[in-house]
Chains A and B, each alone.
Chain A
């Protein structure tokens, strides 16, 4: 902290939730201050109230949610007591906000330049030409390559990272004194995330804007924060300078959160079997779109000549960014997608050429765990039915399947007496355990896990990873683990394969690949892991 005066100071802020919510207050007695010229990170898990805080400052709370105590002093006026007209003057001009998903923050029917220009035409009396000049300068400022082209582009024509840059440009248009960033990099790939974090840092230093940065990721905190506020259940549990909070956390909750961040170093290698349970050879999948009436056909090689082997009992990580083809590959393995060519040998049978009827039987040997714990369970079935479904289809009598499903509940760490509940009555982590139990019910030889922990909070993520490692040891499972998060891959995988644009660019033992990456892309990925240095050194501390 540079000792400058606080630009925003919040004193004893409380925000009340409507009756029937899981707690009475979204925020309870929150006091903090943001100085001009600093980045304050608010970190917490889902439900901690961190986004609610941002919305409270902007006075953009949902209808039944009300501020019922405290003050928010912004430049000598209390935002909590400001009228709607006063707030409109503050929003955009004095306080700007950027969100997680840049696509939804932009109007899909208007060009980027048009949308940024609108900010000026609403708030200022600049002429058209001046506005155009300002727009181009802003786009150059956020380092969009070719600002002229970007100004004429529609949102869908830009990549995710460029869209987020455009949104940042829009937020900075009127030189706000405070920028609120609500998880602005969560929806982005790691390499893009690293660039956007660098951009925010750079802009903050150049323009001396105060930034309130909301995140769930301690890696991001280590990367960008001057000071940190840790929130839990609507209360502040700890705050202080970044280095102090990260290295010497005082509150038990902070310690627990930091311990749950997976370190980037792989644990010592396990001994791998010589016996290959799954052999993927030269698998390709190409998508063709368009090509109708003179429009040029677009050919996407989602998976391009991929060959991999999975030793019995090992875990093979497939890491890559969005669009790398890793999810397509996972879906090819379970034949949700039919590969164009190649072979996938499991237990001596080729899954690629297998006819549908035979596949329905053989599919029990290879099962999948999905990313989204909410979408992957049918809301109309009870948890126990979901788990028992597979064995029933494959001929187990219903009563026995149900009994076995209850045993599986205990195995994945769920209370068997909760088996008769519906999926919406479980938390995200518990749902992911149900999904795991469903996959395990068929006693598969290979488990394909597609980003199984990406949608979970870090403490829950750590528990689910622990469970997977435990099950692997107990049941001798062989796992194909798809992830975009190198830290997670380092924790659980014996082998990793790095994918980019449908091609495997590097593969090998996890420890060796992370310690000594060969391919430039792997190096770039590793360098982009937020808080890389922090992730490495905190791993060396005893947990």
Chain B
């Protein structure tokens, strides 16, 4: 396919894909490399990296292996990033498609709701949701998804607005298509590329949101996540800064990888825009 070829022509996009592959490999290999519970006590607390060959990245303030937590944390970050993004994009596409396709008062109502969500600071809303529904992994993931849908919704709506009066949609209507078929089989495939590209932004933000929650000790404490580790390191930040810095770098690399892939996708799907 031409789009795939174009993707691999960009070094930044390929680098992003490699980084992402590394993070995914870490997530997959976690249970082979570290069969023990990553949250179990492993050795002396606050060992510096490379001080003990058993703990290449050192241990945290409770004596747990940081390397193991980084590997298992990749799972959590990818899980939250992936599922929350799927939720956000799904809600966004549904709301945006219906609003853009029908227009009129339906559009008005849906867009006012979307704006209400958008004007509230994301993180504040997330805090409220977590405070109300508790901070298990499931609720955190859903909550991150639920606060991230307005932007994809607006994007989908804009695409639908420009596509809904195209002649091929009118042709479908004259052939006797129902609205659902017009929305999902005629318009949506044409509206999707920018939304898919935007999904990478949503994913990066979702990973950051979870880490921010964990930093405030508000994420699920029973899983090994990068955010939890940063939150833990907060107490010893001035001396044993590596406890926070190592998971911080992991987050940085993952978010960078996701956005490079997103940018690469964008250039591959819209080749004309790039040349200008």
Whether a CB of chain B sits under 8 angstroms from the CB of A400 is: no
Whether a CB of chain A sits under 8 angstroms from the CB of B54 is: no
Contacts of B168 in A (CB 8 A): 375-378
Provided the pairs A378-B186, A379-B190, A380-B190 are in contact, do residues A394 and B176 lie with their beta carbons within 8 angstroms?
A: yes
Provided the pairs A378-B190, A379-B190 are in contact, do residues A370 and B171 lie with their beta carbons within 8 angstroms?
A: yes
Contact A376 B175 (CB under 8 A): no
Contact A438 B171 (CB under 8 A): yes
* Contact among B174, B189, B190 for A367, CB-based, below 8 A: B174
Whether a CB of chain B sits under 8 angstroms from the CB of A393 is: yes
Whether a CB of chain A sits under 8 angstroms from the CB of B178 is: yes
Contact B167 A389 (CB under 8 A): no
Provided the pairs A372-B167, A375-B166, A378-B168 are in contact, do residues A389 and B175 lie with their beta carbons within 8 angstroms?
A: yes
Contacts of A368 in B (CB 8 A): 170-171, 174
Contact B166 A334 (CB under 8 A): no
* Contact among B170, B186, B275 for A336, CB-based, below 8 A: B170
Complex alpha-carbon distance, A105 and B170, angstroms: 31
> Of all chain B residues, which has the CB nearest A334?
B174
Scan A347-385; emit 1 where CB is below 8 A from any B CB, else 0.
000000000000011011001101110011111100000
Contact B175 A393 (CB under 8 A): yes
> Of all chain A residues, which has the CB nearest B169?
A378
Contact B178 A375 (CB under 8 A): no
Contacts of A376 in B (CB 8 A): 166-168, 170-171
Contact A380 B189 (CB under 8 A): yes
Contact A371 B170 (CB under 8 A): no
Contact A375 B174 (CB under 8 A): no
Whether a CB of chain B sits under 8 angstroms from the CB of A147 is: no
Whether a CB of chain A sits under 8 angstroms from the CB of B172 is: yes
Contacts of B36 in A (CB 8 A): none
Whether a CB of chain A sits under 8 angstroms from the CB of B173 is: yes
> Of all chain A residues, which has the CB nearest B168?
A378
> Of all chain B residues, which has the CB nearest A450?
B167
Complex alpha-carbon distance, A364 and B177, angstroms: 11
Q: How many residues of A contact B (CB 8 A)?
A: 26
Contacts of B181 in A (CB 8 A): 393
Report the minimum CB–CB distance from A82 to chain B (whole Å). 25
Whether a CB of chain B sits under 8 angstroms from the CB of A70 is: no
Interface residues of B in 111-160 (CB under 8 A from A): none
Contact A361 B167 (CB under 8 A): no
Interface residues of A in 427-480 (CB under 8 A from B): 435, 438, 442
Contacts of B275 in A (CB 8 A): 63
Q: How many residues of B contact A (CB 8 A)?
A: 17
Contact B174 A363 (CB under 8 A): yes
Report the minimum CB–CB distance from A425 to chain B (whole Å). 12
Complex alpha-carbon distance, A378 and B188, angstroms: 11
Contacts of B173 in A (CB 8 A): 336
Whether a CB of chain B sits under 8 angstroms from the CB of A532 is: no
Contacts of A370 in B (CB 8 A): 167, 170-171
Contact A389 B189 (CB under 8 A): no
Whether a CB of chain B sits under 8 angstroms from the CB of A311 is: no
Provided the pairs A375-B166, A378-B190, A380-B189 are in contact, do residues A389 and B172 lie with their beta carbons within 8 angstroms?
A: yes
Interface residues of A in 306-333 (CB under 8 A from B): 331
Complex alpha-carbon distance, A376 and B165, angstroms: 10
Contacts of B172 in A (CB 8 A): 378, 389
Contacts of A63 in B (CB 8 A): 275
Contacts of A375 in B (CB 8 A): 166-168
Contacts of B190 in A (CB 8 A): 378-380
Contact A336 B174 (CB under 8 A): yes
Scan B246-276; emit 1 where CB is below 8 A from any A CB, else 0.
0000000000000000000000000000010
Contacts of A379 in B (CB 8 A): 190
Contacts of B176 in A (CB 8 A): 360-361, 363-364, 390, 393-394
Complex alpha-carbon distance, A361 and B190, angstroms: 26
Interface residues of B in 82-109 (CB under 8 A from A): none
Complex alpha-carbon distance, A458 and B181, angstroms: 37
Complex alpha-carbon distance, A375 and B170, angstroms: 10
Complex alpha-carbon distance, A442 and B170, angstroms: 16
Complex alpha-carbon distance, A280 and B189, angstroms: 37
Complex alpha-carbon distance, A363 and B177, angstroms: 10
Scan B177-196; emit 1 where CB is below 8 A from any A CB, else 0.
11001000010011000000
Report the minimum CB–CB distance from A26 to chain B (whole Å). 18
Report the minimum CB–CB distance from A426 to chain B (whole Å). 14
Complex alpha-carbon distance, A190 and B167, angstroms: 25
Report the minimum CB–CB distance from B149 to chain A (whole Å). 25
Complex alpha-carbon distance, A360 and B186, angstroms: 17
Interface residues of A in 372-429 (CB under 8 A from B): 372, 375-380, 389-390, 393-394
Contacts of B175 in A (CB 8 A): 363-364, 367, 389-390, 393, 438, 442
Complex alpha-carbon distance, A438 and B170, angstroms: 13
> Of all chain B residues, which has the CB nearest A375?
B167
Provided the pairs A378-B186, A379-B190, A380-B189 are in contact, do residues A393 and B177 lie with their beta carbons within 8 angstroms?
A: yes
Contact B170 A360 (CB under 8 A): no
Contacts of B171 in A (CB 8 A): 368, 370, 376-377, 435, 438
Interface residues of B in 38-75 (CB under 8 A from A): none
Contacts of A334 in B (CB 8 A): 174
Provided the pairs A336-B170, A375-B167 are in contact, do residues A360 and B189 lie with their beta carbons within 8 angstroms?
A: no
Provided the pairs A336-B173, A380-B189 are in contact, do residues A360 and B178 lie with their beta carbons within 8 angstroms?
A: yes
Contact B189 A371 (CB under 8 A): no
Complex alpha-carbon distance, A446 and B181, angstroms: 25
> Of all chain B residues, which has the CB nearest A366?
B174
> Of all chain B residues, which has the CB nearest A423?
B168
Complex alpha-carbon distance, A363 and B275, angstroms: 44
Contacts of B174 in A (CB 8 A): 334, 336, 363, 367-368
Report the minimum CB–CB distance from A357 to chain B (whole Å). 9
Interface residues of B in 199-254 (CB under 8 A from A): none
Complex alpha-carbon distance, A63 and B272, angstroms: 13
Contacts of A435 in B (CB 8 A): 171
> Of all chain B residues, which has the CB nearest A331?
B170
> Of all chain A residues, which has the CB nearest B188?
A380
The residue in B166, B174, B186, B189 that gathers the most chain A C-beta atoms within 10 A of its C-beta is B174
The contact sample of 21 A-B pairs, CB cut-off 8 A, is A334-B174, A336-B170, A360-B177, A360-B178, A363-B176, A370-B167, A375-B166, A375-B167, A375-B168, A376-B166, A376-B168, A378-B172, A378-B189, A380-B189, A389-B177, A390-B175, A390-B176, A393-B175, A393-B176, A394-B176, A438-B171
* A interface residues with partner B (beta carbon < 8 Å): 63, 331, 334, 336, 360-361, 363-364, 367-368, 370-372, 375-380, 389-390, 393-394, 435, 438, 442
* B interface residues with partner A (beta carbon < 8 Å): 166-168, 170-178, 181, 186, 189-190, 275
Other A-B contacts than A331-B170, A360-B177, A364-B175, 17 sampled, CB-CB below 8 A, are A336-B173, A336-B174, A360-B178, A363-B175, A370-B167, A372-B167, A375-B167, A376-B167, A376-B168, A378-B168, A378-B190, A379-B190, A380-B190, A389-B177, A393-B175, A393-B177, A435-B171
Q: Which 8 A/B pairs are nearest by Cβ-Cβ distance?
A: A376-B167, A390-B175, A380-B189, A360-B176, A370-B167, A378-B168, A375-B167, A363-B176
